[in-house]
Amino acid sequence: MFAYDGAMATRPVLTAPTVSVVIIFLNAARFLREAVDSVFAQTCTDWELLLVDDGSTDASAALARDLATEHPGRVRALEHPGHANCGMSASRNLGVAHARGQWVALLDSDDAWKPDHLASLLELTARFPGAEMAYGPGLLWHSWDGETTDAMQPMAFDRPTCPEPSTLAGLYLSDGNVTPCPSGVLVQRETFLRLGGFEQSFRGMYEDQAFCFKAALDGRVVVTPHSTLLYRQHPDSCCSVSFRDGTHADARLRFLDWARDYLRARHPDERQLLTLISRQRLDIVRSRGIPGALMRAFRRVSPVSFRRWLSSLR
């Protein structure tokens, strides 16, 4: 799918590159090669690639090592001590800890970039002096298997903009669908480190929202409606598995508790965001298990005036 100039792509990177690309993977033999090919196909060639193995037991670990051997100085293969499985957050942090570029671009092993991905995001940061992070929407990529049509990830902005921190953080809380996919993010390495990277207590779900929430509040983030990310949709993705197993609500509550604690510690004056978190927590608690079923039944039989009063408490 992606073509590249092999001679240019295999040239060793002797000086610090502009961009360090970090791909984390776990048993990703099915898609990893396509993700890597999309990096080699970039019109911006000033990059290094760090492949971080999170304890794979399939052929993807050997593929990463082979790529590092084939492209010395340009591709590096990393893993946790003892070939351990430490989760997505720890794996991204490991990659960035070894990065040498001014910017870090994240790419998940089941996603892919259009050839202008890096060039367009770098150009965007140049248009907004002081930008520390940039991203655009992902194409919800269903058609990779030839069965369904694609759709664009929703965006709250119709032109490149640098939103106010509380506005952007509020959008992420109100609608998780507008939170950037990690594969669409370009962030300054120093900013990544200053923010503390990804929260390692989040091994899977909501690890992206926790990082983006921190970046929105404590970094200068630029958003564009231009899409250069192919965000693959498939039943084995982290999100698909979470919804299928019924663990999404618990993961959401855990993220909201973390966001509340983060605000109280660093931004206690953000009362509107704290109120929004409290309302969302209440919505989830009301909708879960027996309490949720009882509440729905009670609403059906209670007087209209009482139901209106109950809704006003949200």
Q: How far apart are CA 143 and CA 260, in angstroms?
A: 38
Mean pLDDT of 54-67: 97
pLDDT of residue 205: 82
Mean pLDDT of 153-162: 92
Cα three-residue angle 199-201-203, rounded to 5 degrees: 90
pLDDT of residue 114: 97
- Taken in order of first residue, the domains within the chain and their CATH numbers are 6-234 (3.90.550.10), 251-312 (no CATH)
Strands (E) across the chain are located at 19-25, 47-53, 75-79, 103-108, 112-113, 133-135, 138-141, 151-152, 185-188, 221-223, 229-232
Give the model confidence (pLDDT) of 193-235 as tens digits. Answer: 999 999 999 987 899 999 999 999 999 999 999 999 999 985 6
pLDDT of residue 14: 56
Question: Does position 296 have pLDDT exceeding 50, yes or no?
Answer: no
- pLDDT band per the 50, 70, 90 thresholds, residue 143: confident
The mean pLDDT value of the chain amounts to 86
> What is the distance in angstroms between the CA of the first residue and the CA of the last residue of the chain?
49
Q: How far apart are CA 311 and CA 314, in angstroms?
A: 6
Q: 269-276 — which CB contacts under 8 Å span 24+ positions? A: 270/166, 270/169, 270/217, 272/166, 272/170, 273/166, 273/169, 273/170, 273/173, 276/170, 276/173, 276/174
Mean pLDDT of 244-268: 86
pLDDT of residue 247: 60
Mean pLDDT of 127-156: 90
pLDDT of residue 49: 98
Give the model confidence (pLDDT) of 87-101 as tens digits. Answer: 999 999 999 999 999
- pLDDT band per the 50, 70, 90 thresholds, residue 245: low
Question: Does position 123 have pLDDT exceeding 60, yes or no?
Answer: yes
pLDDT of residue 217: 97
Question: Does position 54 have pLDDT exceeding 80, yes or no?
Answer: yes
Least confident of 2-6, 28-32, 43-47: 2-6
Question: Does position 260 have pLDDT exceeding 80, yes or no?
Answer: yes
- Quick one: CA dihedral 117, 120, 122, 128, positive or negative? negative
Give the model confidence (pLDDT) of 298-308 as tens digits. Answer: 444 444 443 44
DSSP state of 97: H
Mean pLDDT of 239-250: 58
Q: How far apart are CA 25 and CA 27, in angstroms?
A: 7
pLDDT of residue 305: 44
pLDDT of residue 286: 85
pLDDT of residue 144: 83
pLDDT of residue 314: 37
What is the model's pTM?
0.84
Which single residue is written with the structure tokens 């082979």?
Answer: 66
pLDDT of residue 292: 46
- pLDDT band per the 50, 70, 90 thresholds, residue 236: low
Question: Does position 174 have pLDDT exceeding 50, yes or no?
Answer: yes
